[in-house]
Structure 1
């Protein structure tokens, strides 16, 4: 019974002891709770032996050793793409949703920033798995994180990062595109071959690792981020060793079904670095499609991608947060 239900219990003359019990209940409901808890920056509470997990109503509840202030949860997802939400509570009765990724595709390690909140219980609920009906994860960190706090903007569980999230170390991955044959000569790791455009080897022009491509009017290059991020810029490097020029478009999506075009340079002759600015929005998938190419093989060749754009980020006037409702309703 919660506090509201307890307060509605009626006294009965049939049972003498319940009069004393109800006096105690009444007193407890009028007392002010002492919300003292720990604030320990950069201490991972999930490593403690005393943390407990419970499976309830198709979800998993985590109980911290004691009430604590947190702003960061990190967990690893298994198998395929998942959707989920996370709620927190101090008393296990009143729950507050801090993360809602119910409609977004998420994979691998989830680095979840929230506004600082005082919690004892954390409830994680899986809503979708594209592979099967299970939701499998492992909690890695629960903490008040200050290390990169200055590099993120947080609003309703959505994060606008100032650092590059299109990195293999951030669990981004290339899901469409053909690695150039040169890469196979330079690399033995299948992961590095697949994700070559997400590594910064472009800086060493003496060690040409090639590029990823697709034929014009056939296919595209797609990158999936580990989780939804609010982005307003990205930067790409077109392969132009032979002064090739390209026309292309860029689409983004959060579910791989509904796509928005954010860049249209299909009628341009583009080469080398491309700094791309667009209206702030949630992004999980990035699709780059070559429309025209001066390459004799009629291929669109991409050497590098980063998001957000790290070069122009400091010079861009920060845009105010748009309505979260408009962002969440955007397909």
Structure 2
């Protein structure tokens, strides 16, 4: 039987993560997959899988043994935090998937998300019958990674090298996709962007620049420190044409702040007219929504030879809580 490619080449993050997870599960022992899922869901009860029985009595005979299998596991994966928080496509999609459990008591629906905690509405699962509700099981990528790490680092467990390698690679994929942490802040290299922000309360970059989902705050690494001002992210516009006509169109649509920014960028010479740029509107330095750290976070990053090195040359992610407690970048 042909197997899934180990790490999917899907470009869409959700499909890539799902396909890669299934590829690893396909290549390791089914009993281990069962253990990981049960642990990650907080003890979902015994999941039906392959069962082994000796001396099974039937109506006509007693065979020496029986191996049987009948189960269905459905998976619904979201790579965006809060995907099921409000009523909408995510919730209706989940209800439709849950209906697949009707008439099959062995079936389970696993809902895998990067949310740090189970959504509060999940315990009610409105619109899903009570005979199905207990078989819809939520788990986070962090829960699954924690269960996996517990297995592969347990010296009492005999885990083969291939299995160990596959599971570590899967965790690395989750980390690379930003699914394991609740980082809410991006810090950008900002030699010129830092003074621009202080003047414009915005970050202007190349069009379609990619940022993780779920960010709430924006910071600047400049002059060898993370500056002590963390702006609240208002809106993100991946590509904005910097023309007076476009500014008027945004103004007519009610996007006054963006229209004013376009005018300032062009008229004050920050960007040439006709450019296309990504724009993130931010709270101003003196806005109550802006977090003031009180002092900058000093960069103490060095190379292997001990030479000082920039903490970021592009963008890095961290959290407000860690930034508030840190004096140096090594503490992040």
Q: Which TM-score applies when normalising by structure 1?
A: 0.23
Q: Which structure has more helix as a fraction of its residues?
A: 2
Q: Which structure has more strand as a fraction of its residues?
A: 1
